[in-house]
Amino acid sequence: MLLRTMRYLWALMVGAFVAGASCAQTVDALPSWNDGAAKARVVAFVQAVTQTGGKDFVAAADRIAVFDNDGTLWSEQPMYFQLAFAIDRAKAMAAKNPALAGKPVFKAAAAGDMKALAATGEQGLLELVALTHAGNTSEEFAQIVREWVKTARHPTFKRPYTELIFKPMRELLDYLRANGFKTYIVSGGGVEFLRVVSDELYGVPPEQVIGSSIKTKYEVRNGRPVIVRLPEIDFIDDKAGKPVGIHKFIGKRPIAAFGNSDGDFEMLEWTTSAPGARLGVIVRHDDAAREFVYDRDSHVGRLARGLDEGPTRGWTIVSMKRDWDRVYPD
Provide the binding-site residues for a copy of itself, judged by CB under 8 A: 2-3, 5-6, 9-10, 12-13, 61, 138, 182, 191-192, 195, 199, 205-207, 209, 213, 216-218, 220, 224-225, 227, 234, 240-244, 247-252, 266, 269-270, 273
- CB nearer to a copy of itself: give 23 or 59: 59
Min separation Cβ 216 and a copy of itself, Å: 5
C-alpha separations of 226 from 11, 27, 155, 192 in Å: 59, 47, 35, 15
Min separation Cβ 141 and a copy of itself, Å: 11
Question: In whole angstroms, what is the distance from residue 181 CA to residue 277 CA?
Answer: 14
User: b or e along 160-182 (b: 16 or more beta carbons within 10 Å of the residue's beta carbon)?
Assistant: ebbebbbbbbbbbbebbeeeebb
- CB nearer to a copy of itself: give 16 or 95: 16
- CB nearer to a copy of itself: give 266 or 323: 266
Question: In whole angstroms, what is the distance from residue 193 CA to residue 176 CA?
Answer: 24
Question: In whole angstroms, what is the distance from residue 285 CA to residue 89 CA?
Answer: 29
DSSP 8-state code for residue 143: H
- CB nearer to a copy of itself: give 113 or 139: 139
Min separation Cβ 279 and a copy of itself, Å: 16
Min separation Cβ 227 and a copy of itself, Å: 5
Min separation Cβ 203 and a copy of itself, Å: 11
Min separation Cβ 162 and a copy of itself, Å: 18
Question: In whole angstroms, what is the distance from residue 254 CA to residue 279 CA?
Answer: 9
Cα angle at 38 between 64 and 278, to 5 degrees?
A: 30
Its sign, for the CA torsion 108, 112, 116, 119, is: positive
The 10 Å Cβ neighbour count of residue 87 is: 21
- CB nearer to a copy of itself: give 110 or 145: 145
Q: Report CA Rg, the chain.
A: 23
Cα angle at 240 between 237 and 246, to 5 degrees?
A: 55
- CB nearer to a copy of itself: give 248 or 322: 248
Segment (H or E) for 234:
strand 224-235
- CB nearer to a copy of itself: give 92 or 240: 240
3-state secondary structure of 108: helix
Q: Which amino acid is at 318?
A: V
- CB nearer to a copy of itself: give 66 or 320: 66
